[in-house]
Structure 1
């Protein structure tokens, strides 16, 4: 019997290997997306193919190699665990075998591969669940556009529903708060909490992207859930690229200043990431740790992404049930 519906989990993507060649292929697709870099193609293409894809792949490949796991890329390995855990939870809660597939906006598994598996399961209705709590045209918007491209040649389209964001969902805030509390219980004390979100160009927000507003709401709700005073937490943005102004304050500059101020202990969480990846494991847990301690800071502790924590799977299962009501 065909499934009532299927779930398509979507995330950003990853190189297939920590090598310059694989990284070059991945970056060409990622940075070639106009939703990520919206510069005119006549201007951007020579920069991308003539400069960036010649210079950056070896450096980025080295960074990937430092976090690569036996199962491969952390983002993909964790994504598979999330897929399996959500499949099991939905079966337990609904009594149905609901297919869950994982797809990446860039790289593999592709939208086409995931869609084919859902089609083979007899799925006629698909809930698309991008693993981005806060909406941005550069992430969730890119998932929508990539999916539309994948479906364009199909002679028989499925019925679709799409989770736009869940930045203020109570279960999401509860899951974040539980991860912070568990971290504090493990270490026996509290550091100043830095909530670091992936940045985007400020111009995108000026033009209507709601991303920063969503991040600010998440931060405020998490601080309230943890009963933090204003001086006990701070919000910043990481992973900027190029010379254009991005959302501020910048995470690296914040941590350098906190180090210079001799801050004794910092706890860093990255609420925009549903799974640990290069930007959390290498950039936050390694690179920014170095900035903070090199500047004179004390203890530096990274709080892992929600990954496949039970509270996170509960959130995802609840999102599925809420958005498939009537199916």
Structure 2
């Protein structure tokens, strides 16, 4: 009689959010997030004084308004959407592989549900094999590698760690490109097509790229693949980077400055999509959909539309399932 295969799990990881809409919760979240050396590479002593003397005393209250613009009865959008993705993906894997073959768990790199708690649940369930899927299509040390570090910290004190597989990126996976292209087409059908399509990604300090981070190359590869799917000419699309902070140079062109420049030139009609985000969050819903729209309109632009992230759409769940099943080979019972 053959021995059953060890229990297997799929662990979904995203960035995270504050637990509640309060300055204290925002302060806890910012402290954890901005203390990560993968995120901030400044000298530790200098950054400690900046973080504790400047950012944490004042920034949380300023962020209250931004989070308040997007907060829902269920909490932060990224957590709500991530839970929807977890449940939908569990159903899809049950359908493809059979009930109980793979347990889908969710954790956040910062905040809750935590990675430590997720591994505790998996250990209690008897899981011995874990496939880790960071929900960042394009690899960066600031996101995907930060997930890897967080997992290592969570497992550091455990006697019996599970067997691990780690998905690094899926920025050129055909199902991902098709899902993005279809989301643009569906938006055009429902909302009307604007004159220009902007692809806006989270920015990165230029120094990180110079040290070897492949993130911008992967962003470019994603955009080029989607553009081919949509059949766009070079004059119909632009790639930009958002969310820069500080005075050091970041990846360019900058999203906000580009929008203001276009508006002053008399251009209007812009659709904006953020392919680097698997779930809508503060950055997409408040910065891109609200603040950048206001900047564009105040500078004289009009007809600005934000195309939502893939979120828990059927196409997104299918591509995540495809990605997981491909990597689960050899782990499951026939």
Could you say which TM-score interval applies, normalised by the shorter chain? over 0.9
State how far apart, in whole Å, the 2-side matches of 1:60 and 1:242 are.
Answer: 17
**Residue 99 of structure 1: SS of its match in structure 2?**
strand
Query: Structure 2 residue aligned with 1:175, among 176, 179, 182?
Result: 179
Tell whether 2:79 aligns with 1:76.
yes
Query: Structure 2 residue aligned with 1:63, among 60, 66, 77?
Result: 66
What are the residue-to-residue correspondences of 1:248-327 with 2, within 5 Å? 248-327=252-331
State how far apart, in whole Å, the 2-side matches of 1:273 and 1:105 are.
Answer: 15
Tell whether 2:156 aligns with 1:152.
yes
State how far apart, in whole Å, the 2-side matches of 1:312 and 1:280 are.
Answer: 17
Q: Identify the residue that residue 166 of structure 1 maps to in structure 2.
A: 170
State how far apart, in whole Å, the 2-side matches of 1:262 and 1:146 are.
Answer: 47
Q: Identify the residue that residue 55 of structure 2 maps to in structure 1.
A: 52
State how far apart, in whole Å, the 2-side matches of 1:119 and 1:317 are.
Answer: 23
Gaps of 5+ in 1: none
Q: CA deviation at 1:242?
A: 1.5
Q: CA deviation at 1:4?
A: 3.3
State how far apart, in whole Å, the 2-side matches of 1:190 and 1:4 are.
Answer: 49
Root-mean-square deviation over aligned CA pairs: 1.1
Gaps of 5+ in 2: none
Tell whether 2:89 aligns with 1:86.
yes
Q: Identify the residue that residue 123 of structure 2 maps to in structure 1.
A: 119
How big is each residue's C-alpha offset from its partner over 1:206-245, in whole Å with a ceiling of 9 and x where there is no partner? 0000000000100111111100000100000001121211
Q: Identify the residue that residue 135 of structure 1 maps to in structure 2.
A: 139
Question: TM-score w.r.t. structure 2 length?
Answer: 0.96
Query: Structure 2 residue aligned with 1:4, among 7, 14, 17?
Result: 7
Q: Identify the residue that residue 36 of structure 1 maps to in structure 2.
A: 39
Q: Identify the residue that residue 214 of structure 1 maps to in structure 2.
A: 218
Q: CA deviation at 1:121?
A: 1.9
Aligned residues: 327
Question: TM-score w.r.t. structure 1 length?
Answer: 0.98
How big is each residue's C-alpha offset from its partner over 1:104-159, in whole Å with a ceiling of 9 and x where there is no partner? 11111100111111122211000000000000000000000000000011100100
